[in-house]
Structure 1
Amino acid sequence: MDYKNGHFLLGGAINPLKLVEKYGSPLYVYEADIIERQYNRLKAAFQVEKLKISYACKALTNISVLKFIKQLGSTVDCVSIQEVQIAIRAGFEPVNILYTPSGVNFSEIEEAVGLGVRINLDNIPAIERFGETYPHIPICVRINPHIMAGGNLKTSVGHIDSKFGISYTQMPLVQGVLESTGMKLEGLHMHTGSDILNPEAFLAGADVLLNLAKEFPDLDYIDFGSGFKVPYKPNDLETNIEELGEKLSAKFNTFCAEYGRPLTMVFEPGKFLVSEAGSFLVTVNVVKHGATTVFAGVDSGLNHLIRPMFYDSYHRISNISNPEGKKQTYNVVGYICETDTFASNREIPEIAIGDVLCLHNAGAYCYSMSSNYNSRLRPAEVLIYQGKDYLIRERETIEDLLKHQIDVF
């Protein structure tokens, strides 16, 4: 979104205030042009013979977004059987879906096998049972590289005490299962965290994966996960994708030459593709002067966008109704019966009741983590592409909230 005049310029100079008039508030808006820009940037950064971008769809699972990303050439990474089912309905071929569960019942893995998708396992008991049940089906294995990386502890998933992945020190046990069952290992996988700024963290993880890969001669691909940091503030730091691409491509190409054949390099971007594409538009219900604080209360809360409360995440906030107003200091808060603060002590152009505020970087892990807490309804979603706006999810109604409830009296 263009921050100076409040228009979605990449989407074709669409005024977000008109979108609120048309679709109501609160409202999620996604710019497909930005998703396309991010996808192309990532593809251009890595100079290897075989490269695959696999969208981590847990960031945003709207089926229209999935179909658009598929059109760009992406495959998809799913972490639940429901995500797998949605991806198939979006048109992804099962062979282009990687299912990476954590801590699920084996029956869910069996269901994924029945759908024909690729399987990525992260614990030895599951690998043993899979090898006994499906020795003819190749698998990928998720490695824990023992690397602390990410924006904070909640989003760091590759450290030694993380629940995710198999410790790289336990790979001889995996090798034993493969040998006893005759099962093929087609890929190695890791994901160390989210909001990783330092390319060296990726390179350290790559060293772990590539050293392990030397012990497995029949691999088809190596999946480096993702976690690239995107900017959340003006002049914010971000992962230097071009620098990482140059360094990791050189390392990977050297490995493939030594391995004897080119493997596929895979990345699983979620936030990198969709975070900056998303804007969350909310309307101010009240401006409340406390003893020491001025509160701007909006028609949303942690039920729609929980990241600031859950991760202490920063989302830049613009007053698109009064972008040139004199800046005042506000706490922007929600309407939930909890402390649902979007921003504290934030300088924002003067806010009045009825103003529309924009929370930026609302494309990733925002709608997908929303709920009906306080029996509130979830908002609509709109996609902008090449100057046109499309409603891609209707606003919920009270009938949606009651649909699956059963009155026994």
Structure 2
Amino acid sequence: MSQNQLPLPGQPHIARNGETLMVEQMSLEALAREHGTPLFVYSKQWMLDALAAYQRGFEGRDALICYAMKANSSLGILRVFAQAGCGFDIVSGGELARVLAVGADPAKIIFSGVGKTRAEMRQALAAGIGCFNVESEEELDVLSEVAAAAGQRAPVSIRINPNVDPKTHPYISTGLKGNKFGIAHDRAVQAYRHAASLPGLRVVGIDCHIGSQITEASPYMDALERVLDLVQAIEAAGVALHHIDFGGGLGIDYNGDTPPNADQLWRQLFARIDARGFGHRKFIIEPGRSLVGNAGVCVTEVLYTKPGEAKNFCIVDAAMNDLPRPAMYQAFHRIEPVSARGHGQAKDYDVVGPVCESGDWIGRDRLLDVRAGDLLAVLSAGAYCMSMASNYNTRNRAAEVLVSGNRATLIRRRETIEDQLRNELAGE
């Protein structure tokens, strides 16, 4: 970036060039004029830089980085990571079809999730995926039956629930004993013995994932110790483990959050792994949000400003169907004017969308100098926004653009009402 560009915190490729907000070398105002709003814009370089931090942390190790595609499953994003040599962490047959469509190596695909269907199991076996992360003892039995019927042995690891508090929002905590994910720590050895006895399974590893938007190293260290203890116990019971899958969950900077850098976190973890004699093992990790979250911006137009007795409202054309995180998690996203020119009338606003729900808000109590027709940029919108978008209120999903330097590529056309109605039948 040129010297007169001022990067925003946590987002070195999203910055102002004078009064204009840019993604890499592309003006968000120009992109909004070309493609309309709401509009998602992503920085390719930001994603590659985030990936490079993990690659530095794993330098010299036998490791596989699998992008957890539920964070953002758009084909243009998947292709960036496939071309960078990543594997993929999937949670459905639909996600499997998406990664195969961009040329992903099936041997680098990990299938997670608590509710895999028999059809999805058959689909993944036919594709030749690298591993199933199994999350219940009944799933072991079903997968063995499906694989044996296909004349195969499914490669499996078992997801262990270590009962570690990730210190994050309860909706995105996955490693506590009250969560639905994984098999309880104290049943792990028994579950592995059972898996090893089944004719349709081939045990290859152990898996652990404790949550999302984790901003401290200590939960990872606690989970690591418990997993390494289990590796010793499982192998002492006669079941060999070829890889250790440590999941993802590393947070990003939404509002002054200070998660450890990926390379620093993994150097810290490997210091402990080496001290315990496990450094020669193959490691798999599954980052999602930390690879795409801060790479994305949602550009939205101000429709109206509305004074109220208790609140001032800034009504924009993006809504909870485009940006569901605030409604779902009470999540914070920074909101910046696309142009810093202003009107000299800054006020505190609740930024809200047009959906008919009181929960349809994007940001509360934001000091903004805006009028109808202005553009706002909702930051840190690369993860769990478009992938969770819906058609609530029969709203069309937004367009998406991928920026690389001074080049912008449309990677999703704006949905039309014809797209929404195509598969519906009115009946008699």
TM-score tier by shorter-chain length is: over 0.9
Where in structure 2 are the equivalents of 1:196-345 lying within 5 Å?
A: 196-214=214-232, 215-216=234-235, 218-233=240-255, 235-255=256-276, 258=277, 262-322=280-340, 326=344, 327-339=346-358, 340-345=360-365
- Structure 1 position 306, deviation (Å): 0.7
Query: Match of 2:77?
Result: 65
Question: What secondary structure is seen at the aligned counterpart in 1 of 2:323?
Answer: coil
Query: Match of 2:154?
Result: 137
Query: CA distance change for structure 1 residues 148 and 6 in 2, over 3 Å: closer, same or farther?
Result: farther
The C-alpha deviation readout for 1:126-183, integer Å capped at 9, x for no partner, is 1123234436332111111111214210010110111000111111321331342254
Report the residue type matching 1:306 in the other structure.
P
- Structure 1 position 32, deviation (Å): 0.4
Query: CA distance change for structure 1 residues 148 and 204 in 2, over 3 Å: closer, same or farther?
Result: same
**TM-score w.r.t. structure 2 length?**
0.90
Give the % identical residues.
30
Question: What secondary structure is seen at the aligned counterpart in 1 of 2:365?
Answer: strand
**Residue of structure 2 aligned with 1:362, choices 360, 371, 381:** 381
* 8 Å contact kept, 1:30–1:363: yes
Q: Kindly indicate whether residue 50 of structure 2 is the aligned counterpart of residue 38 of structure 1.
A: yes
Aligned residues between the structures: 402
- Structure 1 position 110, deviation (Å): 2.5
For the residues of structure 2 that align with 1:180 and 1:54, how far apart are their CA atoms? 28
**CA RMSD between the two structures:** 1.8
For the residues of structure 2 that align with 1:280 and 1:208, how far apart are their CA atoms? 40
Report the residue type matching 1:252 in the other structure.
I
Deviates more, 1:214-223 or 1:281-290: 214-223
Query: CA distance change for structure 1 residues 218 and 8 in 2, over 3 Å: closer, same or farther?
Result: farther
For the residues of structure 2 that align with 1:383 and 1:133, how far apart are their CA atoms? 40
Report the residue type matching 2:361 in the other structure.
T
For the residues of structure 2 that align with 1:133 and 1:61, how far apart are their CA atoms? 27
Deviates more, 1:97-106 or 1:293-302: 97-106
Question: What secondary structure is seen at the aligned counterpart in 2 of 1:175?
Answer: helix
Question: What secondary structure is seen at the aligned counterpart in 2 of 1:7?
Answer: strand
- Structure 1 position 3, deviation (Å): 4.8
- Structure 1 position 109, deviation (Å): 1.9
* 8 Å contact kept, 1:150–1:194: no
Query: Match of 2:128?
Result: 116
Deviates more, 1:112-121 or 1:53-62: 112-121
The C-alpha deviation readout for 1:90-131, integer Å capped at 9, x for no partner, is 111211111112123333223222222121110001112323
For the residues of structure 2 that align with 1:58 and 1:155, how far apart are their CA atoms? 13
Report the residue type matching 1:153 in the other structure.
P
Where in structure 2 are the equivalents of 1:49-198 lying within 5 Å?
A: 49-117=61-129, 118-134=131-147, 136-181=153-198, 183-198=201-216
* 8 Å contact kept, 1:322–1:351: no
